[in-house]
Amino acid sequence: MTKPLRPFLLTAALLIPASASGMTVDEAVRRSMGHPSLCEAKHRVAQAKARLAAQAEARPVTLGADAVARHERSPTLAVGGVTTPTTDVVALGADLDKTLALGTRIEARVEAGYRRSTIPVAPGASEQLELGPGLSVTARVGFEQPLLQGAGTGVGEAELRARHHDTVAAKRSRAELRREVLREVLIAYYELWYAQEALAIERRALALSQTELSAVRDRVEIGTSPEAEVATAAARVAERREAVAAAELARQQRSIELGLRVGAEGALHFVATEAPPEPSVMGRRTSKSAVRRSLARSHALASLAAERQAARQRLALASDVGRPRLDLTGWVQTDGLGYRSVEPAFSQLGTFAAVSGQVGLRFEAPVSGGRRDAETAAARAEIASIAAKERVLRHQVASEVRTLVAQATTARKRLGLSRQTVAAARKELAAMRARHREGDVIALDVSRAIEALRRAELRHRQWQAQWAIADVSLRSRTGELLTGKPLPPAKCPRSSLR
């Protein structure tokens, strides 16, 4: 893609401030990878990945532990009166809890306890009956399975799938932004190149006009030309000086624009040191194939498709909210109890001598379904909105690609014609100068030939830049490489990553 520095670029370079920085296409691309918008997109991808990882751990195994010490002394009825027994309890427990993607909640718990009670033998008696101390061990496994709301992986993993699609959408958006930033950088680069070329052409036209003015003055002195031709030639010189000033301003503006596109900080001046390459795509691709390729490789469309899939998953969640709940619950428990010793408790626990269990159903239903209807409507509206965006973007991409193909074809044809025009204008200027020296034409005719050459050269450089810009835009849309080298990763400042 790189071409040697051409002589006319050297002329333009002399007109740029000494602080200007020469920049190749590869250098412009490399610097643009640090553009703030790319750093923002990189952070959005990192955020989406972190949210996906967080959702993947949304149902962790939970460890719980508890300890209870309780002293009870409360009156109770007894034969012939009221007694006040005393109970001391100490319990230590631990449990593991896990919710599966199906919505099933499983719990395992172990508990060890100490219990001692004293009970008066009769109302008002001082003698007391002592029970214990007893040492107990309990192991329980329980479950809770939703049968309606929250049942199945379609609901249990809907948010995980939605965040996966969010991550895909963020990556696709970043890829589309990288492609767009690169396209804008290359366009700004070639526009700067054209501005430099236009400035060089204007200065060459000024030099030709000044040379012609000197020649006219010489001919006036020897009496071969009338005095009026000096005023005509001087007016042409003044016009060319105005054109040079305008071209210098345009070159400065394009340099600033390129600095903005590459994310440069400070008032830097840049010089485009490479001429546009000969495009390999423009005018050689049919509109139909270009549209088909652009739609298939559009990161923006792929990003919207991922967003639509994420919205569908959230629609499943919204549809589940407000449904009646019907949960199947159950548990199995084995116990062991020892008197003044823990060994009998473990022995009884290990032989499953005391096993109990329970199975039950619990039903809940909202009195009103307004929340479910509202959230479902919002989710459906989001899906419809994304689908509408897709249709608009497809139409926009297709229209833009058809326009770019037409522009590429026109630019290619007009570039070839402009080369012929420049060659003809140069021959005409040489012929006019020769005839003017012979006295066959006046200075105004030579000035007109100089102006015709200037316009022809400007059009030639303009179509050369337009050809490259159309090629870059078309290849950007069709997903083809815009540079001969792989794009480097975005380089973000350390301070922005904190």
Model confidence pLDDT, tens digit, residues 408-445:
888 888 888 888 998 999 898 888 888 877 777 776 77
- Mean pLDDT, the chain, rounded, equals 85
d(CA 346, CA 371): 51
Q: Show the tokens assigned to 96.
A: 């593991």
Least confident range from 294-303, 371-380, 483-492: namely 483-492
Please enumerate in sequence order all residues whose Cβ is within 8 A of that of 39, keeping only pairs 6 or more positions apart, or say none: 490, 492, 493, 496
- Residue 496 confidence (pLDDT) above 70: no
Q: What percent of the chain has pLDDT over 70?
A: 90
Total domain count, the chain? 2
CA atoms within 13 A on the CB side of 24: 10
Per-residue pLDDT band at 280 (split at 50, 70, 90): low
Asked if residue 230 belongs to a domain, the reply is: yes
Residues 6+ apart with CB under 8 A from 100: 59, 106, 156
pLDDT for the residue 15: 45
Specify the pLDDT at position 94.
97
Q: What average pLDDT does range 335-350 have in this prediction?
A: 89
Would you state the structure tokens that stand for residue 467, as one six-digit string? Answer: 């050809």
Over the stretch 123-168, which tens digit does the pLDDT of each residue have? 877 788 888 899 999 999 999 999 998 888 888 888 899 999 999 9
Q: What is the pLDDT of residue 484?
A: 61
Q: What is the dihedral of CA 23, 25, 465, 447, to 10 degrees?
A: 30
Strongest mean pLDDT among 8-17, 303-312, 314-323, 448-457: 303-312
**Is 376 in contact with 318 (CB distance < 8 Å)?**
yes
Does residue 276 share a domain with residue 133? no
Give the best-scoring range by mean pLDDT among 10-19, 28-37, 105-114. Answer: 105-114
- Same-domain status, 407 and 287: yes
Res 169: pLDDT? 93
pLDDT on residue 137: 95
Burial 249-265 (b: 16+ CB within 10 A, else e): ebbbebbbbbbebbbbe
Q: Is residue 27 part of a domain?
A: yes
Assign 5 to helix, strand or coil: coil
Position 409 scores a pLDDT of: 84
Residues 201, 207, 210, 214: is their CA dihedral positive or negative? Answer: negative
Residue 317 lies in a domain: no
User: What is the per-residue pLDDT across 200-255, written as a single tens digit (0 to 9) for each?
Assistant: 999 988 998 888 888 878 878 887 777 787 888 888 889 889 999 999 999 999 99
Within a domain: residue 1? no
Same domain membership, residue 404 and residue 461: yes
Which of the four pLDDT bands, split at 50, 70 and 90, describes residue 391? very high
Closest CA to 229 of 244, 214, 208: 214
Residues 194, 301 within the same domain: yes
For residue 421, being part of any structural domain is answered with yes
Judgement on whether residues 255 and 356 belong to the same structural domain of the protein: no
Least confident of 10-19, 109-118, 180-189, 473-482: 10-19
Query: What is the crossing angle of helices 287-296 and 370-438, to 10°?
Result: 140
Pair 300, 174 in one domain? yes
d(CA 318, CA 375): 6
205/349 same-domain check: no
CATH number at residue 467: 1.20.1600.10
Same domain, 346 and 458: no
Highest mean pLDDT among 125-134, 355-364, 456-465, 484-493: 355-364
Q: Alpha-carbon distance 371 to 466, whole Å?
A: 56
In a domain, 371, yes or no: no
Average confidence (pLDDT) over 323-341: 92
Terminus-to-terminus CA distance in the chain, angstroms?
Answer: 38
Band of residue 487 on the pLDDT scale cut at 50, 70, 90: low
Question: Across 263-351, where does the E strand assignment appear?
Answer: 270-272, 325-339
CA-nearest of 203, 287, 312, 182 to 251 is: 203
How long, in residues, is the chain?
498
Say if strands 270-272 and 21-23 run parallel, antiparallel, or are unpaired: parallel
Alpha carbon distance 404, 279 (integer Å): 13
Beta bridge partners of 358: 331
Share of the chain above pLDDT 90, in %: 36
Q: What pTM value is reported for the model?
A: 0.74
Q: Give residue 242's Cα distance to chain centre.
A: 45
- Give me the pLDDT at residue 357, please: 95
**Residue range(s) defining the domain that contains residue 335:** 62-99+104-149+331-364
Question: Are the C-beta atoms of 45 and 174 separated by less than 8 Å?
Answer: yes
Within-domain flag for 373: no
Helix (H, G, I), strand (E, B), or coil: what is residue 132?
strand
Q: How far apart are CA 146 and CA 105, in angstroms?
A: 9
pLDDT for the residue 285: 65
In this structure, are residues 338 and 391 in contact, taking their beta carbons and an 8 Å threshold?
no
Round to whole Å and give the CA distance between 382 and 309.
Answer: 11
Neighbours of 224 (CB within 10 A): 13
Structure tokens at 485: 């080298």
pLDDT score at 411: 85
Q: How far apart are CA 51 and CA 162, in angstroms?
A: 11
Local confidence band at 2 (pLDDT 50, 70, 90 cut-offs): very low
Mean pLDDT confidence for 96-113: 93
Looking at the structure, tell me whether residues 412 and 489 fall in a common domain.
Answer: yes
Whether 19 has a pLDDT exceeding 70, the answer reads: no
Q: Is the peptide bond before 133 cis (omega within 30 degrees of 0)?
A: yes
Do the Cβ atoms of 321 and 191 come closer than 8 Å? Answer: no
For residue 454, pLDDT beyond 50: yes
d(CA 42, CA 44): 5
CA dist list (Å): 310 to 158, 296, 301, 391: 9, 20, 14, 18
Residues 222 and 89 in one domain: no
3-state secondary structure of 246: helix
Where is average pLDDT lowest: 95-99, 253-257, 261-265, 288-292?
261-265
pLDDT number for residue 14: 42
Residue 183, domain member (yes or no): yes
The answer to whether residues 383 and 358 belong to one domain is no
Same domain, yes or no, for 293 and 441? yes
